[in-house]
Amino acid sequence: MSNAAVAYRRGFLVVLSLFFSLASQAAPRELPDFSRLVTQHGMAVVNLNVTRDVKRAGFSSPAVSDEKSPGDFNPRNLEENPAAADENSLGSGFLISPDGYILTCAHVIENARDIQVRLTDRREFSARLVGSDRRSDVALLKIEASGLPTVTIGDAGRLNVGEWVLAIGSPFGFDSSATAGIVSAKGRPLPNENYVSFIQTDVPINPGNSGGPLFNLKGEVVGVNSQIYSGTGGFMGVSFAIPIDAAMNIASQLKSEGRVRRGWLGVSLQEVSRALAGAYGLNKPRGALVADILPGSPAAKSELRAGDIVIEYEGRAIDRSTDLPPQVGLTMPGTRAHLGVFRRDGGPRKMIVTVGELKDEGAVRTPARGPASDKRSRYGLALSEMTSSQRKNLDIDSGVGVSGVEEGEARDAGLRPGDVIMEVDGKSVSDVPGFYRLLEHAVPGRPVVLRVRRGMSTLFLAMVAAKSA
């Protein structure tokens, strides 16, 4: 072998050896080491042992959902131990001040007769409930102590999907258990949870974890572990945490006032579909479409109109309809909130709404449907006139009832039997002939915007105008 070949071979082997050496050094760094985080911040996590009145609480142990869906949300009964003969349940919490204030979930301490707090150094205290808020599932406790270790509060808004996070809690009563995963999604809405945009993770969360902190890699708390999605009552890869900024806002109000004052506009919202975005001239579906405005509400006293699309609230972009309620809810009543709105006949505009205070919701009525008609149109619609009593029950001045929907533009738009069509492109529908007269003025092949009453809710649908017969 020539000297050149020998030199080349030696050089190749050196490069190859260096490559594998660097690869072996880099590989361990790809996965985070949580040990220092647990050591430094785990002392502020506490175990909760709650004694409750089972009869008054009405608990049922976690079991396989008897629904046909693959799973169910389990925020409430997550802490119960079905094998326990006494009335104890377990949960977690964390210290947010050296003088003993503890943040946890409202469902952890619901209907509690006694709350015992155990620290990592095995000291135990009896806790006092400062206040709880079921709408956000946040509760604040107080123990009589001083010089306690506390967590560092982070910024949930800076979290990125795919970022590593760590949970510390007491699953099944195993104190100070650490589990890790990644952020799966942000701003996740859940059924019946209008005032929280959850952080979704794949961190293993089990009975006893609720109320515990969710840490980022800096050791900052970014969320409060609250719910799981499961068909068994145990972890199945999907868990949810309350963003820490929302939780701290609620805790601050509970501490200062003992209750939560939540902002309210008095609007019902719907998602902006691709068809509606096209009808409004938006480049893509975005924002929260104001489907209806409650009479006498803060929104009714402002320039906001039904049919407006809210695309910005207090300087923050609104991408989906579910983005708006949590932001409004965290706004202090009386605040003059700045909105960015897109109006179909006027384009983008700015306006101010003085935020009101949310009260308890009352029951809603289910209206009677109008009489059916056998007449079918080229839109696949069967329409019927509304009687004066039907309009009074629905609290509307005009409109026509949808008694049947067949294949065609109406079905494609999402109209259903029982709907009431009140407006076409902002113009009131007086009767069935009036509805078709309004459609005659539409440009064939382009969508018109229908304002529809469905039950006691109002929504907007985009229907393509058919060509003349």
Taking the C-alpha atoms of residue 211 and residue 170, their distance in angstroms, rounded to an integer, is 10
* Selection from 337, 338, 417, 336 nearest residue 376 by Cα: 417
Q: What is the DSSP string of 353-381?
A: EE-EE--PPPP---PPPPPP-----TTSE
| Contact indicator for 135, 83 with CB cutoff of 8 Å | no
Q: Helix, strand, coil proportions of the chain in percent (round to 5)?
A: 20, 35, 40
- Side-chain-side CA neighbours of residue 146 (13 Å): 0
Q: What is the DSSP string of 377-409?
A: -TTSEEEEEPPHHHHHHHT-S--EEEEEE-TTH
Burial 251-275 (b: 16+ CB within 10 A, else e): bebbeeeeebebbbbbbbbbebbeb
Active site residue 107: yes
Kindly name the residue from 107, 170, 226, 377 that is annotated as catalytic: 107
Active site residue 441: no
Active site residue 431: no
Taking the C-alpha atoms of residue 274 and residue 424, their distance in angstroms, rounded to an integer, is 18
| Residue 392 neighbours by CB under 8 Å, 6+ apart | none
CA–centroid distance for 174 within its chain: 30
Residue 293, beta-bridge partner list? 267
Question: Tokens for 48?
Answer: 């909760």
Burial of 178 (0-12, 13-18, 19+ CB in 10 A): middle
| Contact indicator for 467, 444 with CB cutoff of 8 Å | yes
Taking the C-alpha atoms of residue 211 and residue 74, their distance in angstroms, rounded to an integer, is 13
Kindly name the residue from 133, 137, 175, 419 that is annotated as catalytic: 137
Residue 146, beta-bridge partner list? none
Kindly name the residue from 210, 230, 321, 377 that is annotated as catalytic: 210
Q: What is the DSSP string of 283-308?
A: SS--SEEEEEE-TTSTTTTSS--TT-
* Selection from 80, 73, 48, 74 nearest residue 170 by Cα: 48
Residues classed as catalytic: 107, 137, 210
